[in-house]
Amino acid sequence: MIVRGINFIKKLKSGYGPGKWRRWVSCGILVATGLVIKSCIEPFSPPEVTKPGTYLVVDGFLNINGDTSKIVLSHTQGVNDGGQFVREWGATILADAENGESYAFQDVGDGSYILPPTTFNRDARYRLRIKRLDGREYESDYVVVSKTPPIDSITYRVDEGRNAMMIYVNTHDPSNQTRFYRWNYEETYEYRMAYYSSLTRDYEKKEIVSRTDNVNVCWRTLPSRDIKLGSTIKLSQDVIRDLPVNIVDIGTNKLYFGYSILVKQYGLTREAFEYWTDLAKTTQGTGSLFDPQPSQVTGNIHAKADAKELVFGYFSAAQEQKKRIFIRETLGSYPRCMPPDTLDFKEAFEGSAVLLYFYMGQPKSGYLGTSETCADCRSQGGTTTKPAFWDQ
């Protein structure tokens, strides 16, 4: 093989000039180097990433503004674990006022605990106490109630460069006392399928019959997934103008049939703002070497028996302010799908296609069918029940 290689090189050298010969040699060296480097690369996952400990995560706050308060208990998981978060049920959760009053949360399942609307003393300080099913206890520091001014307005406009709808929030505090803010939202949009299904299967009668429910139109509600913060501490006036709270890509077609967003606003203490800022840097800015690197952001909740046990989350008491708007701009495009298939009775009844209508009329000589993603809106995560707040 060595002789053949030498002979091959001699032939190349004799058939090309000095310049071409050097280029061939350079290319060969680069290819060989690349193969060697590739063969030496092995994936590396540190033990602390692939086998993390399991710690308690506390998410929620005490809503002082006369609405339901909600706390969610879950567990940490590895960064490479793509499964659902593990929720914790069976805990006892209390909110204590510093004057001795106590308010018990109700376990409603799936790791969620709620406190119905209650009248609170807005000048008191509060803490959260948790007792898990295994007996371990946790408590937060006492926190003051963060007063929140109302939302002045929610505005929107199209950013043609991004091909997206930008949604902004505006607020102000005439007393200049709030200074630190956080927002989240729930977006709800109506969507429809490319084809209308008018038939379904009656397995008891072994017949194909007319459908009585409409699976062509659905509504889907999604919560915000990132952390939106704002501060006016460096401004002379406590005014927030046109802070982007959401970006809706027009290509998603969320804006074609109807879109609504419910924006929720919270005033924060400086300590809470610093916690959320650190959490945002850790969870939202780790895409490159120059982004903030991951760190432990534990918050103000502690284990009573073991001060070294990690607990994640920040308990706060705040006045929640909410405002909803609707956007009717018909942006995007009507959904499209491949042409439906023509099926005989056996194929239609025993198959999995969503049935559209009879083909060739009466007598029933055939049926048209398509996939769920083209004719059943529930397949995309929505519900056929129109939300109570949805306008006509």
145 in a structural domain: no
- What residues make up the domain containing 349? 199-212+339-380
- Position 80 scores a pLDDT of 60
Domain count, the chain: 2
User: Above 70 in pLDDT, residue 154?
Assistant: yes
Question: Do strands 69-75 and 320-327 pair parallel, antiparallel, or not at all (unpaired)?
Answer: unpaired
268 in a structural domain: no
Instruction: Please write down the HEC assignment for all residues of the chain.
Output: CHHHHHHHHHHHHHHCCHHHHHHHHHHHHHHHHHHHHHHHCCCCCCHHHHCCCCCEEEEEEEECCCCCEEEEEEECCCCCCCCCCCECCCCEEEEEECCCCEEECEEEECCEEEECCCCCCCCCEEEEEEECCCCCEEEECCEEEECCCCEEEEEEEEECCCCEEEEEEEEECCCCCCCEEEEEEEEEEEEECCCCCCEEEECCCCEEEECCCCCCEEEEEEECCCCEEEECCCCCCCEEEEEEEEEEEHHHCCCCCCEEEEEEEEECCHHHHHHHHHHHHHHHCCCCCCCCCCCCCCECEEECCCCCCCEEECCCEECEEEEEEEECCCCCCCCCCCCCEEECHHHHHHCCCEEEEEECCCCCCEEEEECHHHHCHHHHCCECCCCCCCCC
85 in a structural domain: no
pLDDT tens sequence across 117-126:
999 999 999 9
pLDDT tens sequence across 13-40:
444 444 444 444 444 544 444 444 444 5
Q: How far is CA 104 from CA 47, 140, 174, in A?
A: 40, 15, 35
114 in a structural domain: no
286 in a structural domain: no
375 in a structural domain: yes
Token pair, residue 222, equals 């999604």
pLDDT tens sequence across 58-95:
999 999 998 999 999 999 876 566 566 789 999 999 99
33 in a structural domain: yes
Q: What is the C-alpha separation between 12 and 17, in angstroms, rounded?
A: 9
- Position 6 scores a pLDDT of 41
Average pLDDT of the chain, as a whole number: 86
User: Above 90 in pLDDT, residue 183?
Assistant: yes
pLDDT tens sequence across 298-316:
899 999 999 999 999 999 9
359 in a structural domain: yes
